[in-house]
Amino acid sequence: MNDNKNAEAYWRANLRLILGCLVVWALVSYGFAILLRPMLSGITVGGADLGFWFAQQGSILFFIALIFFYSWRMNKLDKQFGVHEE
Amino acid sequence: MSQFAINLLFVCGSFAIYIGIAIWSRAASTKEFYVAGGGVHPVVNGMATAADWMSAASFISMAGLIAAGGYANSTYLMGWTGGYVLLAMLLAPYLRKFGKFTVPQFIGDRFYSSSARMVAVICLILTSVTYVIGQMTGAGVAFSRFLEVSSNTGLIIAAIVVFFYAVLGGMKGITYTQVAQYVVLIIAYTIPAIFISLQLTGNPIPPLGLFSDHVASGTPLLAKLDSVVRELGFQDYTADVPNKLNMTLFTLSLMIGTAGLPHVIIRFFTVPKVADARWSAGWALVFIATLYLSAPAVAAMARLNLLNTIYPDGPQQAAIRYDDRPDWIKNWEATGLIKYEDKNGDGRIQSYNDVPAFKETASARGWEGNELTVNNDILVLANPEIANLPGWVVGLIAAGGLAAALSTAAGLLLAISSAVSHDVIKGWVKPDISDRGELLAARISMAVAIVVATWLGMNPPGFAAQVVALAFGIAAASIFPALMLGIFSKRVNSAGAVAGMLAGLISTLVYIFIYLGWFFIPGTANLANTPDNWLLGISPLSFGAVGAIINFAVALSVSAVTAPPPVEIQHLVESVRYPRGAGAASDH
């Protein structure tokens, strides 16, 4: 019973983490780079605007950071809940 | 040494390395053949994944697409990288925990149905075969330009090299050749990018150069490019896109499609642990980003360089005389990828955007139509010549283009052959086959797949241009939702999954066929493929994301009204969610 509860809590923590990461994932690509670009057009970045920078550089850099952040957090959660591999 | 000799040296040198690796890493068991023994280091796997993923399209075509479309084609940059976030969080770790050899095998076991497994095999083969045609033709183009052989001869040489390491080594041979191929292709891409960035902006790092000042004019590079293309009737390079819905859905289709491509997913079966699968996705994206962050810089700089070559005194002044054109234009004219027609008979090369809105300006300058057509694909390949780089850089580009095409082709061929030998033969036709027998079957399937791919590369079907849309559409609409639901829902059952996959697949195919012709047969399209005909402005290329949503909706609703999966399947779902015990599934 205790084991089941533990496993369920682990899975819920994973889902929360995924949701948080996917919000950032959507914000830097669909948000800043596409839909919100007109609102950010006032901020110039070297001959273009912030939305253009996110579309061609920023989104990719954020994607990398997101995966490493997720891996680091999950590997910690694995140990915390005792479901990591030996 | 002549340019031909240099190219030959680079290409043969890289091929010798690949064959050396093939001999060193022969596969002795099915486990080695399918998943390289399951002991690949996450960073090594990340590098192999990067080469597996970056195809001729990424290496050769992408910068050209961005150069032509500017901001609007940023979709490729985001779409082909953002999928790794989905892969790392939604698929790779759980499928690694499942610990088997193929993607259809997971779908078959999770949905306790051999028909689900066979639908997955069909989707996998459709996706991978359409994809591999592009790689083979890409290799043919690189051969014909750089080694002066016919593209068919080039294709056969490429096929023999792939045959060597893929048939002998399976995933094991492919993994280590892909690492070597990554090194070759990234050096080949980066060196010309650094040179061109230094020439134009004085900044040696291309992604920073893109946002720096253009040395010759003292204005920011992108502002300079905007003003030059505006003079010639094009829209601004950085101009916004009015149809945001379509841009969003196209990017989403590429991302979901990337995460659902079987040849990418199976790379994550080769690492020892679940935690490694997560890290490995991050490393893969680091290695991919090394090329993808440079690509937009190469695109903008090469376009500016090209226009400066044609209008040496600026776009308001007269264009260059045809007789004075540089050698690289002559070289590429010979391949037919650059074409010139002197429409107004003044002996100069006018290149501009031939649209009604610009007609008046053009006639005032005595122009009677755009006289130069440049194929998008040559931009990266011609980059070193445009920038006047030494001959060895050109040789490097030849080897790099081939490495990109061959590494992806090998990964796709492995996905196809393992689906045939493991899912169809072992899983269905002859379940009692021995390990040795299955290994032989895997090798034979691989050999047949190479022959078929080579034949298709020599005789590309008429729809070759649309195949990328097809491959991503199918992967996004059929494979990705089935895998994700299989992991994140205990309630989705066999009927729901099969109905969902078929609904996603068929709706996507129908939408593509309506605009591009039924089975791509010319003249059978119901509606012209123009934006005003598209449903809500959604292009057929962007429909994969809608197909995925249809798949999710159908799978969930059919499951809700039918019986839940048996208890042991719910246990299976639980077991893939928790990393502990993944080692047990592998032999380590």
- Quote ipTM for the complex: 0.96
For position B201, what pLDDT does the model report?
Answer: 94
Residue B568 domain flag: yes
CB contact (8 A) between residue A46 and residue B220: yes
Residue B110 located in a structural domain: yes
Residue B61 has a pLDDT of: 84
- CB contact at 8 A, B397 and B380: yes
Across the interface, whether the CB atoms of B581 and A85 are under 8 A apart is answered yes
B110-114: long-range contacts, CB 8 A cutoff, minimum separation 24: B110/B486, B110/B497, B110/B569, B110/B572, B110/B573, B111/B482, B111/B486, B111/B492, B111/B493, B111/B494, B111/B497, B111/B498, B111/B565, B112/B494, B112/B565, B112/B566, B112/B569, B113/B494, B113/B497, B113/B498, B114/B427, B114/B428
Give the distance from CA B77 to its chain's centroid. 11
Domain, as residue range, for B484: 3-301+389-581
A45-80 b/e with 16+ CB inside 10 Å = b?
Answer: bbbbbbbbbbbbbbbbbbbbebbbebbebbbebbee
Q: How far apart are CA B30 and CA A8, in angstroms?
A: 36
Structure tokens of B197? Answer: 């960035």
Instruction: Give a yes or no: residue B351 inside a domain.
Output: no
β-pairing verdict for B338-340 and B372-374: antiparallel
Per-residue pLDDT band for A28 (boundaries 50, 70, 90) equals very high
Give me the pLDDT at residue A84, please. 87
**Ranges of chain B with pLDDT below 50:** 582-588
Q: How far is A73 from chain B (nearest CA, A)?
A: 11
Inter-chain CB proximity A18 and B90 less than 8 Å: yes
Is B131 inside a domain boundary?
A: yes
Task: Quote the pLDDT of residue B519.
Answer: 78
- The answer to whether residue B54 is domain-embedded is yes
Looking up residue B50, the CATH number of its domain turns out to be 1.20.1730.10
B322 domain residue, yes or no: no
Q: Would you call B65 helix, strand, or coil by DSSP?
A: helix
Q: Give mean pLDDT, residues A28-42.
A: 93
Name the amino acid, one letter, at B34.
Answer: Y
Do the domain assignments include residue B315?
A: no
How many distinct structural domains can be found in chain B? 1
User: pTM higher than 0.90 for the full model?
Assistant: yes
Share of chain A above pLDDT 70, in %: 98
Distance from CA of A27 to the nearest CA of B (A): 12
Task: Report yes or no: B273 at the A interface, CB cutoff 8 Å.
Answer: yes
Q: Is the Cβ pair B282, A60 closer than 8 Å?
A: no
pLDDT computed for residue B585 by the predictor: 43
- In angstroms, the separation between the Cα of residue B433 and the nearest Cα of chain A is 32
What six digits make up the tokens of B149? 């052989």
